[in-house]
Structures are given as C-alpha cells and as structure tokens.
Chains A and B, each alone.
Chain A
C-alpha cells in the first residue's frame, strides 16, 4: 500500500510523516510519532480519551484521518503546559484530586481548555454537558467538575 505524505503542525512544531490512507490521526500520533499522551479508550468517538484540538476545534482524534491533518494545527496534551510549568487547568486537576487512574485525564484537560477558551465562566451544568463526551470511570466526575470550576476562577483571577 503506498503511503501519503502529510505535513502538519503539532503543538507549534512542524511535523512531516507518511501514513496509510485509512490510518487515524490517533494511530499516527501514537504509533508512528510516539506522541503517547493522547490515549485510546474506544476508537469509535464515544469516550473522548483521544481528544485533541484541530485548528482549535475539539475533536476525537480517533475519528480524524491522519491525512486530514494536512496543513492543520494540532494541539495535544503535550502542548498544554508551557515554559512556566503546568497550565492552571493541570494544576487544579492535581489540587482537586480530579484523577484516579489518569487515563481519561489528557482528554479531559484538552476538552476543558477548549471549554474555557470559549466560555471563561461556565456554570456547573455547562461544564457537565461540555465534558459529557469524555468518559471517566473512576471519579464520578465530582472532583473533575470542581477542578474545572477552580481553573476557571484561577484563569479569571490569577492568584
């Protein structure tokens, strides 16, 4: 099977790769580019563990073909922390014990960033519906919702 050359930007860095036409962005990120922070929980777009931003839009990378990332800007969990350390969302997830096993955490943090970029002051119901595409089996979501609320507060009024 002949491979297709794709040029994309991952977390601000230009990346070129060859892929098969049926390969998903998730598979290429993980198996070919070793960007392993993005997780696979279902491969069918139901769990959100593979959430990334594609041109600032929240997507399940298991539902995006790798070739569709040609010329796009992809942000993964590895691109959330900055030179000054953890992003406030990451810090609040830690402080609020909003993770147990941690497998859903990269997707939830990417989804939370996407929410807070659009709506800096979401109410509880908005948070719960925005994150309804990100399954967590450990926490019951209570501490995740509280971490998102705390992150919104921190971003609005940095300590």
Chain B
C-alpha cells in the first residue's frame, strides 16, 4: 500500500491560480478575441447525408457587398495521406476532407464551403447565395447494415485493414482487430453458468458548453497566427500545417482558455478554414460554431453494438469470455475500437478470452475522442453481463468482481503485466462504503459496476523561471481544462519548497514553450507534471551550484531543504542558508537568471480503476428515472489537488449518467440528426442529479515522483452499467440497450 509521505502542499486544496479571472468574466475563451478590422467566417454545410458534389459556385456570394472571401474544397492543397499521432490523430487526408468536403459529402452538416464577411448577418446571407449541385446517394445509417457485403459504400477505396489477407473488395468495415488468449471453447466447457447479451448504445456527444471558435490572422509574408479553443495547440498546428501545406514555423497557435473538451477539441474543424479566409481577405477572421453545428458536424463518440458471453464456475471464477464489438466511425475511419477492445476485460484476470472489434464507416459525423474513448460502451456490456452472472450465482456483485480482479503481475488482456494497480483496493473501499449497505427507499434499486482506463504519457515540455524576488513562473504547453495550472503550481511548490502562492503557471503558445501533446489521455498532471518537477529539480541543481560558489564549496556539499540551500549533512560550515529569493536576488552576480527546463516522453502512465454505486428509482407512470444517490470510488495514485480529482469523478459520473439515461443522437431516415440542440439532446441539469459522493483511493503509480495516475477519463466508464444495473435492481427488468429514456423504460415495463 501507499508509502506515507509528509507533503506540505500536495493533497491540500488551495484556490486555483486562474480562478479570479474565471469568476469575474475576465478569462478569454475561443470566441473572445476581437481584433481591429476583424470579419466573420461562416460555413456552408451539406443538406444531405451522402451525396456527390457536382459543382460549387461561389460567385454570387463573392459579389455581395461586405463579403471579403469565399472558399471551397478546391482552395485546399491536395489531401495527402499520412498519419498524425496523438489522441486527435488519424489520416491527414481524412482529417482534411472532414474539415472541407472535396468530391463527396459524407454526413448531414459536412462542410462544403465557407465565407468571410463584415458581419454575421452578411455572412449568413452569403452562405445562402452559394450554389451547390449534388447527386444524392443512398445514406448508410445502420451499423449492422453498413457491415454487410452489399451495403452502399462510403469510400470505394476503403479495404478492411488487419485482415489475414488483403481483401479484393472494398467495404465499409475500415479495420478489424482481434485479441485472444487461451481456449475459449474449453473455458466455456468448464463453466457451470453462462450469461450472454447484446447491447446497443447510440452516438453521444461530449457536450462541452463552449462551441468551437477561433480568430486567425495572416500577414503579407504568409505567417499565420491562430487564437483558438483547443486541447492541444501544438497538434492543431501540425494538422493545419499539413492540410494547408505550410511550414510549421509559419504558424503560431495560441491556446485560449478552453470551455470544455472531453476529447472533442483534439481535432481541427475551423482553424484551417479561418487561415484560408484570412489569407484571402487579408483581414483577421473570427469563426464561431453554433450549437447546432457542434452537434451535426463535430465528433461525437461511436454508437456501438456489442455481444458478449461470459462463463463461470459456481464459485464465481470466470472460465471464459468472448466479445464482439462493432463501433461506428462515422464518415471516416477511426472509431475507438482498439481501446474499447483492450479495456473490456482489463479489470479481470482471465485465462481464456477472445475479442473481435470492428471500425465501421457510415454517413454520420466523424467520431472524435470522448473521455476514455471506446471503453464506456464495451465495458457497459461486460459489467452488465457480470451483474447477470452475480444474480445467477447468487453472489454479491462486488465479491464476484473481487474473485476475478486483476492485481499486480496480472497480464493485461492487451499484453503487458500490470505493475502496482488499485482495483482490489477500489472494490474493498466500495464493499466497506456505508452507501453500499444503507437501506434503500421502497421501490429503489442499487447497482454497481467497475471502470478502467489505461492513461497515457506522451511528450511534454516545461520551463521554470525564478523571478528577481524569488517568485516563480511555470510555463508549460497544456491547455488548462479543469485546474491543471493549480496542480502544476502545487507540484512545483512541493519540489522547490516554495509556498504555493509564490508560484504562477501559464500555458505558453507554440512559439513560447516546447512541444507538448494534447491535454488528453488523462496525461497532463502525470506527464506534464513530471516535466514541471524535473524543471524544478533543474532549478535546485543550479541553486546548489550557486550556493556552493558563494560559500566556496563543491556543489555536492550543498543540500536543498525546505526551499533553502544548506550545507549537506556532515559538512561543517558556518554559513547562513540561502533561500530561493536570496539566490534569485544575486543571480546576476552568480551566473545570470535562473531558468530550469525539462522535456520528456513520459513512460509508465498508471492505469486507474474505479467502482461506482448507483441508487435510483423509476416512475412507472412516466418512465422517468431518478438517480437518488451516486458514489464514485477511484484510484488516483496520488491526488495532487483532491477537489479537482473529485471534480473529475463527479463530472464523469454526471456524463455517464446522462449517457445512460437520456443522451443519444436521433437520426431520421435521411440521416438528419433530429435533436441537434440542448433542448432535445438533454444533458443532465442540476435538478436531475443528487450530490455525488467521492472516495479517492491512493495506490501510488511508481513511475511518477508523487505517485500520480491520470484521473480524468476513468470516471465516465462505470456509470453506464452502474445505472443500468441499478435499474434492473429497481424494476426486476433487464434492459440491455441505452439510454434508459422514458420511451424505452415504458416499453420495457409494459
């Protein structure tokens, strides 16, 4: 278990350094940069889900008073294939065609042209003046239909990847994946009980409250500056450079404050368009999506169809498990089938399993990452099946999971052996939690489920500047989406021994700090935090050298303790300790300013497991489900700022509950989303939810100086099944499909 540490700052709950600006309206987000002579860009979107573009005529729009520029797919360089890594990655040609359609439109809302005009109203009028001729094609809208051999094709050049032999016919199945171990038939033969199920979950949106927005300027030398809301301005820069055939050094990206992302702001939509329009108009161009555009044309997460079969002995030991997982990619390849397949059995130590997964094209928006991409859907299937298994066996559902739980040394289904992990500790905490045993009101039900996410490391950079008065500025490259500046300052404070209040963190633009991958994969506090700690250690090394020079000693005769240089133990010297402020004040005489830096490709991200307990009640008259209580238990490794760790757990729980109970993309027979607004795509509001109780488990990640695991994504994984299992407990009726919205509930209870 956790080694006890006596931390001064870590584990406390100070006020975030960017807080005052965010409660006073001073903080500037994607749509908040207004520049002199600025004009407005707007996008014309396809009215068809599947069509060939026969012609686009921009001339009438361009002739209008107050219209400065118009572009279509023809204004882009040829879309070259090539992979971009990272969470928002994929094939550049696909990303480019998603930003602006070329020969075909592949979903309702796909961008076909854009204009820049002196006002939003003129820009809207100009869009109406653009003439597009389409040859309408049959849309592919059903996941299982799309996989059939005779289905209409989205892309005649799409040949299924990862098959043993290259197929000779194109398909809507972009890729397949298989993971297996042992002998599943033999495993099922040993089973006393077998449960099976099929589970459908429709597309759902991240639902960040801030729509995508940016402002771009391009000077006469061709250099562009883009202010935008992004989870990763360095990756936005590489994507834009590749799409527009520009040098990376000619693009400067400034990350605004970001109004939520959850994975959805890891890919560009507007930025390359804004650069093209700004270049053509020679004016700053601001672009802002409407909410409707966000729903129709930015990445939701995949709708899925999962089939699962689990066999176990009487004592609960799982002998075999199989899963068949189909993921909707939307218009271009890249559904999260890989992480979905790799996570479904991750919490369990299984001898025999087989997982097949499919990445399927259909005429819906191209999916983007959404918090633990792929895992909520696949793990919903497993965690519901385990609930059925516990019922059949007459076992407590936590005991059943404990019987099969992965621990240190268990070989993960995706390959490596787990180092120290905290799943068993989460199960123990859930079993012991008073909310697990407290009496339920009449007619209510309680469900439990487990969650998991890998977490990632990837590249980060950080600089630490010590100011002349000994205060400290930390510069790093990860947009602060939920309090990461606070955690960076806290880790710097702990490392340097300087009070938290003396440290400020800022997110540098692409020209003022080193490369960092996206704020995503639950990596920021882990990986960028590690870079900040190393940059602080660089400062300490420099301070020790300067103190040594001042005292006429060798650097190894100096220690750094409580924010001061002191003689090392056993060094006999009559000197006054030198604080960071003392050293900073004389830096000019001891070698110049103190600048610490670090860059790394972080290894050893620690998987984070969770267990959720949900209590709910169902109104049989209306089919409405009321969540009465929700308890989130999760291994954080080490919670740097517990309030923001709880915030991740509570926010993920709310998103998961929303997905379980109400959220879904509803398409008509032409592929038009019928609920593209917050009124009809109903995310949880304050009156829908109870307080969400949190219990943070801390099993340290040995690869991080303070034991941090990522915490941001795991919280959304377990709520789907926890809610579905509570629904079954409350009603006695098992419903495998989500959401448990009133119409589905009423028909199930009928």
* Pairwise interchain contact B677-A103, C-beta atoms closer than 8 A: no
Rounded to whole Å, the gap between the CB of B679 and the closest CB of chain A is: 5
Extra A-B contacts (8), CB below 8 Å, given A94-B16, A101-B259: A40-B288, A41-B210, A41-B211, A44-B677, A101-B208, A101-B257, A102-B27, A109-B23
Give the interface segment out of B194-202, B310-318, B644-652. B644-652
Which residue among B27, B34, B206 has the maximum number of chain A CB atoms within 10 Å of its CB? B27
Look across to chain B and name the residue whose beta carbon is closest to the beta carbon of A49: B209
A137 touches B262 (CB 8 A): yes
Q: Are B678 and A78 in contact (CB under 8 A)?
A: no
The smallest C-beta distance from B701 to any residue of chain A, in angstroms, reads 22
| A136 interface residue (CB < 8 Å to B) | yes
A95 to B29, CA, bound (A): 22
> Is A15 part of the contact surface with B, judged by Cβ < 8 Å?
no
**Which segment, of B234-242, B442-450, B504-512, B685-693, faces chain A?**
B685-693
Contact with B along A111-138 (1 / 0, CB 8 A): 0000000000000110111011111111
Whole-angstrom distance between the Cβ of A100 and the nearest chain B Cβ: 4
Find out whether the CB atom of A145 lies under 8 angstroms from the CB atom of B686.
yes
- Name the one of B13, B31, B651, B677 contacting A42, with C-beta atoms under 8 angstroms: B677
CB pair A97–B685 under 8 Å, yes or no, is: no
Chain A 80-122 near chain B by CB (<8 Å), digits 1 or 0: 1100001000100111110111111110010000000000000
Interface residues on A, range: 35 or more
Residues in B with CB closer than 8 Å to A109 are 23
CA distance A105 to B26 in the complex (A): 11
Q: Does B290 contact A (CB under 8 A)?
A: yes
Residue of B nearest to A76 (CB): B25
Bound state CA distance, A40 and B678, in angstroms? 13
Q: Does B32 contact A (CB under 8 A)?
A: yes
Can you list 19 A-B contacts with CB-CB less than 8 angstroms, sorted by A residue number?
Answer: A36-B34, A42-B677, A49-B210, A78-B25, A86-B23, A95-B15, A96-B643, A97-B644, A97-B646, A97-B647, A99-B22, A100-B483, A104-B259, A106-B23, A133-B685, A135-B685, A137-B208, A142-B692, A143-B650
CA A46 to CA B211, docked complex, whole Å: 14
Query: Is A104 in contact with B686, judged by CB distance below 8 angstroms?
Result: no
Q: Do B291 and A140 touch (CB < 8 A)?
A: no
Are B650 and A27 closer than 8 Å at their CB atoms?
A: no
Q: Residue A61 at the B interface, CB < 8 A?
A: no
Total number of B residues with any Cβ neighbor in A under 8 Å: 62
Q: Within the complex, which residue of A80, A102, A137 is in contact with B22, where a contact is CB–CB below 8 Å?
A: A102
Looking across the interface, which residue of chain A has its beta carbon closest to that of B31? A40
Q: Tell whether, in the assembled complex, residue B678 and residue A42 are in contact, meaning their CB atoms are under 8 Å apart.
A: yes
Closest A residue by C-beta to B291: A42
Which residues from A are CB-within-8-Å of B32? Answer: 30, 36
Q: Is the CB of A38 within 8 A of B121?
A: no
- Chain A residues within 8 Å of B, Cβ to Cβ: 1, 20, 22-23, 27, 30-31, 34, 36-44, 46-47, 49, 76-78, 80-81, 86, 90, 93-97, 99-106, 109, 124-125, 127-129, 131-145
Q: With CB as the reference atom, state the residue of chain A lying closest to B122.
A: A1
Q: Is the CB of A144 within 8 A of B209?
A: no
| Nearest A residue (CB) for B479 | A101
Q: Is the CB of B654 closer than 8 A to any CB of chain A?
A: yes
Chain A residue numbers with a CB within 8 Å of B20 are 86, 90, 94
Partner of B686, one of A38, A93, A127: A127
Known: A31-B120, A137-B260, A140-B692. A41 touches B651 (CB 8 A): no
CA distance A142 to B631 in the complex (A): 12
- Complex CA gap A34/B25 in Å reads 12
Q: Roughly how many angstroms separate A85 CA and B684 CA in the complex, as a whole number?
A: 33
Beta-carbon contact of A101 and B260 below 8 Å? yes
Contacts of A134 in B (CB 8 A): 685-686
CB distance from A87 to the nearest CB of B (A): 9
Instruction: List chain B residues, Cβ under 8 A from A133.
Output: 685
Knowing A97-B643, A140-B654, the reply to whether A103 touches B29 (Cβ < 8 A) is yes
Say how far B447's CB is from chain A's closest CB, in angstroms: 18
When chains A and B are docked, how far (Å) is the Cα of A137 from the Cα of B650?
10
- Give complex CA distance A86, B684 in Å: 29
The 4 closest A-B pairs by CB, nearest first: A37-B25, A103-B259, A140-B654, A140-B650
Question: Are B207 and A143 touching (Cβ within 8 A)?
Answer: no
- Is the pair B259, A39 in contact by a Cβ cutoff of 8 Å? yes
Return the CB mask of B85-128 against A: 1 if under 8 Å, else 0: 00000000000000000000000000000000001110000000
Q: How far is the CB of B107 from chain A (nearest CB, A)?
A: 21
